[in-house]
Structure 1
């Protein structure tokens, strides 16, 4: 029970890595604010996740609002304060990656990706940090970045800069917020099989190639990211801030 009675906000939590993180936090005793896009198609998933968390003996509420909206962070914080008395942990996980070539990248796709992955993250982190400062008991902020923060991708020229951005945001926030006892760290997943890359990995040749690049011999599952997030959120990581944790099965270091 590493997060017993903690109040945790997770964005992009109705599916994939966010959902796995929400369930893992609940298993460790946390109450969870589930941030999701607000689309009608996502609402049943958020409601199902609330039921699963309740079955674990913890409480959860859902807030449907676009991750790219600068006001969404304030809505998430208000939900945490109103329902659970405050904010102990904020996990910025929401992100999109509509794969597209660079030379003909539509402005709309680029701007939506940057707003969702980076601009919205900035304001949500700011809202959570202000609440943590007000509470006066510190806290933990974790951004789900990506191995893509460290390497390029021909079909991800709009995506990789946003993931490098949230990594850099955590490094700078670690410096800015350390005086308030607020720790800021980033998790860098490798290739995790989620909705975001399902179409890309449906190509068996590419899927098998990515597996071959991974020393552990398999692609990641969302559940593989939940544990590292709980660790960084917990007191076990009380002297860890400004860090970046690769969770990629060894893919990044495999240069052979």
Structure 2
């Protein structure tokens, strides 16, 4: 297998499980040393590092709540101290506590904003500053969502954050292009992760949602690993400000 990220250092937020973990393992499989951020799941983070190391790469887990701006500088510093540089940054950390719109608790709304959007802003900023200081460019990938393009009845607090991530990558692509830093987003469809396990606990609902996907199934975290590795690699050296739908065709299936 061609190792597309040979010699690179990759940072991934929210990587103790789900899409973040799949991205971290995928990067290691392609030759990268990987630092992961996690909030609470120590066992999951340790297991992810062991899997990275089993692939012959260096791994590092750094705990921190992304809603705190200081977590961003601490994470980037720890990774740089350990591996010497930051080549690729993947902003994945996010939450989606499903709730109706009319009685949305203020704290639920604000917490979702702080984690998904504010956290992403300061994480991307910290990684970009390190890349600029290094002087050899880099790649930033944000895990947005199909929810950046469509609505969700119980996601009125969540969908604006994912639209914001999509927009952030477009704007940072302009701001950072002169430094050789590419900024892109992936927009997953419905992926089976902890974030939606309660919402999809009803098998009938899962089957109904899968039937709407042209490829005939809901997504798995590993379905995002390839697209993220591609955008991180030199294969995408002239791709910036772009977004890549990874949804099995769900978005285009309107009839």
Query: Which residue matches 2:148?
Result: 149
Alpha-carbon offset, residue 218 of structure 1: 0.4
1:176 CA drift (Å): 0.5
The DSSP-based 3-state class of the residue aligned with 1:52 is: helix
Secondary structure of the corresponding residue to residue 34 of structure 2: strand
Q: Match for residue 160 of structure 1?
A: 159
TM-score by length of 1: 0.98
> In the alignment, what sits opposite 1:10?
12
In structure 2, C-alpha distance between the alignment counterparts of 1:250 and 1:140, rounded to whole Å: 26
Q: String of CA shifts for 1:64-111, please: whole Å, max 9, x gaps.
A: 000111111111111121111110000000000000000000011101
CA RMSD of aligned residues (A): 0.6
SS of 2:62's equivalent in the other structure is strand
- Structure-2 residue corresponding to 1:30: 32
- Cross-structure match for 2:21: 19
User: Secondary structure, in 3 states, of the residue corresponding to 2:197?
Assistant: helix
Matches within 5 A, 1:93-112: 93-112=92-111
Give runs of aligned pairs for residues 24-173 of structure 1, distance below 5 A.
24-37=26-39, 39=40, 42-173=41-172
Deviation at 1:205, TM superposition (A): 2.2
TM-score, with length taken from structure 2: 0.98
Q: 2:232: which partner in 1?
A: 233
For residues 226 and 247 of structure 2, what CA distance do their matches in structure 1 show? 13
Moved more, 177-186 or 71-80: 71-80
SS of alignment partner, residue 100 of structure 2: coil
Q: Deviations over 1:112-159 (max 9, x none)?
A: 100000001001100000100000000000000000000000100000
Structure 1 spans left out of the alignment, 5+ residues: none
Written as runs of structure 1 = structure 2, the 5 A alignment for 1:194-209 is: 194-209=193-208
SS of the equivalent of 2:199 reads helix
Q: Secondary structure at the match of 1:200?
A: coil
Instruction: State the alpha-carbon separation in 1 of the partners of residues 181 and 117 from structure 2.
Output: 20
Distance, in Å, in 2 between the alignment partners of 1:33 and 1:76 is 8
SS in structure 2 of the partner of residue 63 of structure 1: strand
Deviates more, 1:196-205 or 1:234-243: 196-205
Measured after TM superposition, the shift of residue 44 of structure 1 is: 1.1
Query: Aligned equivalents of 2:78 and 2:55: distance in 1?
Result: 20
Cα deviation 1:152-185 (Å, max 9, x = unaligned):
0010000000000000000000000000000000
1:22 Cα deviation from its structure 2 partner:
0.4
Name the residue aligned to 1:223: 222
